[in-house]
Chains A and B, each alone.
Chain A
Amino acid sequence: MSLKKIRKYLLPALLAALTIFCFGATGEICGPLFETTADAFEAKFPENDAASLKDVTSKLDEPEGYHITNSSGLPFAIFTVAEPQSALVAYDLKNRKTAWRVEIPVNSPLTFRDNTIVLQTGFAIAVYDAGTGALLWTVPIDEGWSFYGADVSNETVVISLGIGSANDGAYANGLLVARRLSDGRELWKNLTGNGLLGKPAVMNDFVFVPWKKKQIAIIKLDTGEEVSRLRADDFTVNFTQATPAGVFYGTNATEKNVAALFLLDGYAISGKRTSPNMFMPRSVAAPNAPGFHVDTFVKPSIEIANAERIRYYWLPQKSQSTIRMSADTYYLHYWRYIFAFDARTHQTKWAYMSPEDIHSLLPMESGLYAVTTSGTIFYTDARVGHVNWQIKTGLKPTSIAFDSHGFVPSVKTGSGIKDPRADLKMLIRDKDSRMLPVRIYATKLLAAFDSAGVTADLLELHADATMPPALQKTIVEKLAERESGADALIDSLSVRYDYLEQIAAPPTNVVAPALANMSATKALPGLMQQILDYETPTPNIEPIASAILKLGDESVVQPLLAFIVKYHADTSFVGYEDGLNRICEVILKYGSEKEKKAIESVRDNAQTLPELKKQLMTVLDPDADKKAMALAIKKAQEAEIARQRAIELQKAQELANRPYFLSRDQIASTISKNAYLLRPCIKSALEKRLGLRQVRMKFAITGANGKPAGLHILPNDIPGLQECLANGLSQIEFPKFKNIRQNASHTIRITGVRRKAATTE
């Protein structure tokens, strides 16, 4: 080959090799920037688009129903355990034995679906065959990333990884990776670039993954392309879940709202909590804000968080319009307790108290599996909550999944439908103080039953003096709301406090008004017994007396009068005098004139409590306040008249004492007292005429008012002096005198000293 030919082929070959190398290097260097194999998580992607969502929902297959999926066909409970060695274990529920066990480090709760187990082991994700326990493949987790969950469908495993925090404003990045189930080969992966992803849910050809707690990205399973996106407007999205009944998503409880569950259907585009595809518990709000699923934005851990011990469990059934639950039941798990609720009425169906903490539940189509923290699995029928089947596996779960749909243990027939009220009462009486919030919750659930017997139940619970005060308070509150059960309330009045028997006094402050409202006159003997019982709390005397006031008759008068006489001066009633006062009202209403006089003598007794005295004044004379007011007004008026008379008298006396004329001295002393009014005039005159020795004034005084007028002065040629003195003199008031008018004269003498002073001032 000639050099020319070599050049001709070599150069393009080198260029091609260089190009390939450069692309390769670029891929290595800039790989992360180009990892999105198809468009997803774009900022400007349309949200809540009806057409794209309809396209997705129309392609979701009809449900297959719930069934065992593992390849062995046996009903399995699949555990991860930490003791004695960390392991993944499948327990055969039918044959009551371990089916297989794989000892591996377990660093996340397991995910199970369609014969496949996915979990984190060390710093890798491992996928196992659930039927055999065979490891299918593992794939390492890149440094810095955390495993947030996975789902399996259509021979594909979709894994969610995250970095950063789900908190607002914090840096976060999410990565969704699809791998082939058979060999783990990566099919595609997508970075969010902004915000964490929750655990994905895979259904048919789509992945539904919650993103940034507000959105659900719907991604094509085969390409990784985002095809639709939902955005929640007034709630957060904490999880998505694919079930044979459809895809669901949900929001955790907040301070304002209880948790809610949504079916992903056409209504989802509203993004509103109130949309018709929503289901939420409509009974009493449960304590500690349980959700319908764990928050998948929280990094999963094998350490059990409180939120996982307090949550709702549910198994949906396919429904055209609304969310339907299997056996029309959903469950609340609260540590040792299980509550079953009717999904239509939200009323308690039954409640169960386990002797030990429950790890988790698995609702079935007709019942419920539960596993305790010590590894005991038990099954209960959804209708009645009887536990007649259990296995002690000895496996203490760190996480558990059941693949046992369709396997219903041969449960012995229970004793028929249980009385949910009896269940709730048993729970309320539990002595576990950790459970106080849920015991209060159970009390509210009990009170929610519209049955007259509930009143008796609440009274029975109240009579237990060992009940904590917070629980007693709730019982009393709920009793106050009762509108039925008068007989039970009346019966409760026969109970009296007994320290030895630990019987509490009945809540008469609640019972008495309720009976009065029901006009239950049959309650009178009981009310009397309670009011006369020294163990009845003093604040309760007033409500009982008020009830007696309404329901009483003349038979109550004498015992109550004796009571009043005994306690009218007793300081134990200070602050509660209204109770004694109300008793007096009863006596006055049903008693005769004789008893009225007795009450009057209590009012007039020096030792009677002052406040009671005051109240009795009003009771004995309802117009006492008005009369007192009228008396006060009358007194004020009389005082005013007297004052006017005194003034007039003073005037008359003063008139009678007036002189006929003023003497020269009276005039001189009056002017002298008011000299300050004239002094500026003289000072001004002296500036104009230094030799001024005196000023003579002549004027007239009116007798009736002592006012001077008609001033004439000498000398009268000093400019301004006449006007100034006339002005000063007009402000002087002379003593009044009997005659109409009097002429007067006064001379202002200016001495040398004064002149000097006047000039120097």
Chain B
Amino acid sequence: MSTRKYFHIISTIAVILTFLLTSLAWGKPGKINRKKAAVKPAASEIEQNIDVDTEFQAFVADLQSTDPEKVVVAIQMLGATGNPAACSEIIALLKTGPGNDITNLALQTLGVLGNPDAINTLVEYLNHRRSDARVIAILALEGYSSPKIKHALEQKLRDSDPQVRTNAAIALVTKGDASSVPILFKAFNRGVNDAAVAIGRLGARDDALRLTEYLGKLDISVLLPGFREFLTGSHLDDDMKLQVLNVLFDFAGPEVRQFAVEMRAKIKAANPEMEYDDPILKLLSKMVNQIVQD
């Protein structure tokens, strides 16, 4: 999860930095251009477009620079433009085989741009020799949707690097579907604990029951995120949810009680009209009341 946080922080910083640098580089357009717009709106727009285009071309040119700092700034700026052409320029840069930092930043930027043209490149970089590049490619792909992403992410569960496997499992929460569940169970059996969340999100009745079979064999804290997804999702009927909760009740402990407290609050918040005599809420309340607090 730390890599995901790191990715989001970097992305946010990149966007803020881009905004600030853009403001500096483009001479605070918010003030000056607004005045110009009042006098000659049409001319100003043209001028601004010309300025933007010129700046864009300048950053594209900087991608070829031998100075890595210049290249880094150029990637960040191009990412901030949101210009579809930036995607192809960054892909072209990646094809030249830049150093580690530039490669990683370029992959992050392709993720931020959200241009589907980047999908093939990002999928290709899932097979980069550096595991950090593979992790970044996984995170970058989270913003895209394509059938090939699901398959590629499933294959990353076979990766030698634990960070890659974990991030692939997490990405499959949104990118996977019911057909991903068997391989997710396989990964879970091999210690990819975060696969439980994806199983909970994507799995069906049988998968929920299968997950309960791990109770007593694995640390319950590893399993609860999966049950949380099963219980809060709509893909499981209430009977099944009750069945899962009853099994959890059998393994009563402080963690299960805390889980029941959370679930009760969550379900109630999501369905305010739900009565407390609802069987699920009733069972959750029973769990909260009867399980001894640590």
Give me the interface of A with B, judged by CB distance under 8 Å: 497-502, 534-535, 538, 564-572, 606-607
Contacts and interface: CB of A to CB of B under 8 A. Distances in A.
A203 B24 CA distance: 107
A567 B100 contact: no
Contacts of B127: 534
Of A498, A565, A566, A606, the most chain B CB neighbours within 10 A belong to: A566
A669 B138 CA distance: 88
Interface stretch (B72-80, B157-165, B221-229, B285-293): B157-165
Contacts of A535: 159-160
A499 B97 contact: no
25 contacts: A497-B158, A497-B160, A499-B159, A499-B165, A499-B190, A502-B190, A534-B128, A534-B134, A535-B160, A565-B96, A565-B97, A566-B97, A567-B129, A569-B97, A569-B98, A569-B100, A570-B97, A570-B100, A570-B129, A570-B130, A572-B129, A572-B130, A606-B66, A607-B68, A607-B98
Contact of A500 (B66, B95, B103, B186): B186
Contacts of B160: 497, 499, 535
A146 to B, nearest CB: 54
Contacts of A570: 97, 99-100, 103, 129-130
B95 A565 contact: yes
Contacts of B66: 606-607
A611 to B, nearest CB: 14
Interface in B178-202: 183, 186-187, 190
Contacts of A567: 97, 129
B293 to A, nearest CB: 39
A535 B134 CA distance: 12
A538 B130 CA distance: 10
Interface in B99-118: 99-100, 103
Interface residues of B, number: 23
A501 B99 CA distance: 33
Interface in B120-169: 127-130, 134, 157-160, 165
A500 B96 contact: no
Nearest to A609: B99
A499 B130 contact: no
Interface of A is mostly: loop
Nearest to B95: A565
Contacts of A500: 157-158, 183, 186-187, 190
Contacts of B129: 534, 538, 567, 570, 572
A498 B158 contact: yes
A607 B186 CA distance: 41
A313 to B, nearest CB: 43
A607 B99 contact: yes
B53 to A, nearest CB: 28
A571 B100 contact: yes
Nearest to A496: B158
Contacts of B100: 569-572
A565 B165 CA distance: 27
Nearest to A534: B129
A606 B165 CA distance: 34
Nearest to A571: B100
Nearest to A564: B97
A499 B95 contact: no
Contacts of A499: 157-160, 165, 190
Contacts of B187: 500
A568 B103 CA distance: 12
Nearest to A606: B66
Closest 8 A-B residue pairs measured CB to CB?
A606-B66, A569-B99, A565-B97, A534-B129, A566-B97, A498-B158, A500-B186, A500-B158
Contacts of B130: 570, 572
A756 to B, nearest CB: 78
Of A538, A564, A568, the most chain B CB neighbours within 10 A belong to: A568
Nearest to B191: A499
Interface in B222-251: none
Contacts of A564: 97
A572 B97 CA distance: 13
Nearest to B67: A606
A538 B129 CA distance: 9
Contacts of A565: 95-97
Of A501, A565, A567, A607, the most chain B CB neighbours within 10 A belong to: A607
Given A497-B160, A565-B96, A570-B130, 12 more contacts: A497-B158, A499-B158, A499-B165, A500-B186, A564-B97, A566-B128, A567-B129, A569-B100, A570-B129, A572-B100, A572-B129, A607-B68
A571 B66 CA distance: 17
Nearest to B68: A607
A607 B64 CA distance: 12
Interface in B77-100: 95-100
Nearest to A499: B158
Contacts of A572: 100, 129-130
A502 B187 CA distance: 11
Contacts of B183: 500
A338 B97 CA distance: 57
Nearest to A601: B96
A535 B165 CA distance: 14
Contacts of B165: 499
B99 A571 contact: yes
Nearest to B127: A534
B286 to A, nearest CB: 39
Of B68, B97, B130, the most chain A CB neighbours within 10 A belong to: B97
A567 B130 CA distance: 10
A501 B183 CA distance: 11
A559 B8 CA distance: 34
B134 to A, nearest CB: 8
B65 to A, nearest CB: 10
Given A534-B127, A606-B66, A501 B97 contact: no
Contacts of A607: 66, 68, 97-99
A471 B127 CA distance: 29
Nearest to B165: A499
Nearest to B100: A571
A568 B190 contact: no
A533 to B, nearest CB: 8
A229 to B, nearest CB: 66
